[in-house]
Chain A
Amino acid sequence: NAGVTQTPKFQVLKTGQSMTLQCAQDMNHEYMSWYRQDPGMGLRLIHYSVGAGITDQGEVPNGYNVSRSTTEDFPLRLLSAAPSQTSVYFCASSRGQGIHGYTFGSGTRLTVV
C-alpha cells in the first residue's frame, strides 16, 4: 500500500516553462487536493477534486490547472512557470470529506529561476 505518491521530488524550471506534477493514490479515496507550502504561510489550497471528472478552485488557483480523469490520479499543471511559484507542493487525499484527516504525499520542491 503506497498511499499518496508524488513525482518528481525536486524540480528546477526556467521562467516560462511548463510542467506537470504527478500525484497518484492507491487507497480509492474520493477527495484529492493540491497545496503549496511557503515559509511563514502554512499550506494553502490550490485546487481540489471530489471525484473523477469534478474539480474546483481553492485559495490560490492562478497559474495552475488540474484534471481528474481517474480516481487514482490528480496531476497539477503549471502553464508558464514564474518565480512566485517557487514552493513546496503537496498532494493529499481523503476518504469521504476528510473528517478522519488527509493523507499527504511527500511533496515536490519546485524552484523557478
Chain B
Amino acid sequence: AQTVTQSQPEMSVQEAETVTLSCTYDTSENNYYLFWYKQPPSRQMILVIRQEAYKQQNATENRFSVNFQKAAKSFSLKISDSQLGDTAMYFCAFMKLEETSGSRLTFGEGTQLTVNP
C-alpha cells in the first residue's frame, strides 16, 4: 500500500514571501501521479497542481511550483509571493493507475499554512 507523509503539521509565512511545503511518499510503482490540493476555511477541496511521475520537468502553475524528486520519493510545493488568500490546509496526494479498477487517491495528513500580513 502507498503512504504519503507530510511532516509539517503547521507552517506560517509573511505575505509576499516564499514558503515550501514538504511531502514524501512510499511506493514501488513506476507509473503514478502526484497532486497538491488546497482546503481553505470554506472546506472546499481545490486542485492546486499535478505532476506525472514519468515527466522529469517540474510542474508550475503561476505562483505554485513543485520540486519532484522521483528517486527520493519527494514532492514539495513552493508558493511564491504568498498572499493572504493562500491561507489554507494543503494536502499532498498520490495516485497510481489501476488497469482493471478505479484509481484511488491516497492523501497525506495535511499542512496548515497561515499567511501573515
Q: Evaluate contact between B102 and A99: CB separation under 8 angstroms.
A: no
> Which A residues lie within 8 Å of B44 (CB)?
104, 106-107
Residue of A at shortest CB range from B109? A42
Interface size on A, residues (CB 8 A): 26
Which residues of B have CB within 8 Å of A100? 50
A92 to B28, CA, bound (A): 26
The CA-CA distance from A96 to B39 in the complex, in Å, is 24
Question: Residue A50 at the B interface, CB < 8 A?
Answer: yes
Whether A97 sits at the interface, judged by CB under 8 Å, is: yes
- Give the shortest distance, in Å, between A92 (CB) and chain B (any CB): 8
B105 contacts which chain A residues (CB < 8 A)?
A: 33, 35, 43, 45, 92, 98, 102
* Cross-chain contact of B109 among A41, A49, A88, A106 (Cβ < 8 A): A41
User: Is B104 on the interface with A (CB-CB < 8 A)?
Assistant: yes
In the complex, chain B residues whose CB is within 8 Å of the CB of A92: 45, 105
- Among candidates B9, B45, B108, residue contacting A104 with C-beta atoms closer than 8 Å: B45
Chain B, range 8-55, C-beta contacts under 8 Å to A? 9, 33, 35, 42-45, 47, 50, 52
B106 — which chain A residues lie within 8 A by C-beta?
45
Query: With A and B bound together, what is the CA distance between A81 and B91 in angstroms?
Result: 28
Identity of the chain A residue whose Cβ is nearest the Cβ of B104 in the assembled complex:
A45
* Distance between Cα atoms of A69 and B104 in the complex (Å): 21
Tell me the nearest residue of chain B to A101, going by C-beta: B47
Nearest-Cβ distance from residue A3 to partner chain B, whole angstroms: 10
Partner among B9, B35, B50, B97 whose Cβ is within 8 Å of the Cβ of A97: B97
Give the residue name and chain of the B residue nearest to A9 (CB): B43
**In the bound complex, do residue A99 and residue B91 qualify as a contact, i.e. CB atoms below 8 Å apart?**
no
With A42-B109, A97-B98, A99-B33 known as contacts, the answer to whether A33 contacts B52 (CB < 8 A) is: no
Shortest CB distance A39–B (Å) = 9
16 CB-based A-B contacts, threshold 8 Å: A31-B102, A33-B102, A43-B91, A43-B105, A44-B107, A45-B106, A92-B45, A97-B97, A97-B98, A97-B102, A98-B95, A99-B50, A99-B95, A102-B105, A104-B44, A104-B45
Which B residues have a C-beta under 8 Å from some C-beta of A? 4, 9, 33, 35, 42-45, 47, 50, 52, 91, 95, 97-98, 101-110
